[in-house]
């Protein structure tokens, strides 16, 4: 008969949380994650240009441009963290 060993209360959830943290740290420190941000930024930039040329609405194009700049900053910060 197999008897499960006794573990401290909450030990299993602690191990799962620790594993999830390690996976997230590896994912967050990847250069691919930075380039992912840059590609999203480029997509929003192209959308802003296209939308402005198509409709002439500067307000909504500016909103897309701001979102594009925000993603570019996230990509830059990600690369900066990796270079340390």
pLDDT tens, position by position, 21-80: 555 555 556 788 899 999 999 999 999 999 999 998 899 999 999 999 999 999 999 998
DSSP string, 10-65: THHHHHHHHHHHHHHHHHHT-HHHHHHHHHHHHHHHHHHHHHHHHH--HHHHHHHH
Separation CA 40–CA 75 (nearest Å): 10
Domain tally, the chain: 1
Q: Do the domain assignments include residue 17?
A: no
What does the pLDDT read at residue 31?
80
Q: Note whether residue 26 is domain-resident.
A: no
What is residue 21's predicted lDDT score, i.e. its pLDDT? Answer: 58
Residue 8 domain-assigned (yes or no): no
Q: Does pTM top 0.75 for this prediction?
A: no
Q: What is the pLDDT of residue 63?
A: 95
42 lies in which domain range? 31-83
Residue 82: Cβ within 10 Å count = 13
């Amino acid at each position: 008969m197999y008897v499960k060993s006794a573990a401290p209360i909450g030990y299993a959830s602690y191990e799962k949380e620790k594993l999830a943290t390690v996976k997230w740290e590896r994912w967050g420190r990847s250069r691919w994650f930075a380039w992912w941000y840059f590609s999203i930024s480029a997509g929003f930039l192209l959308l802003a240009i296209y939308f402005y040329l198509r409709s002439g609405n500067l307000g909504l194009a500016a909103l897309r441009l701001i979102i594009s700049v925000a993603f570019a900053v996230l990509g830059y910060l990600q690369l900066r963290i990796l270079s340390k």
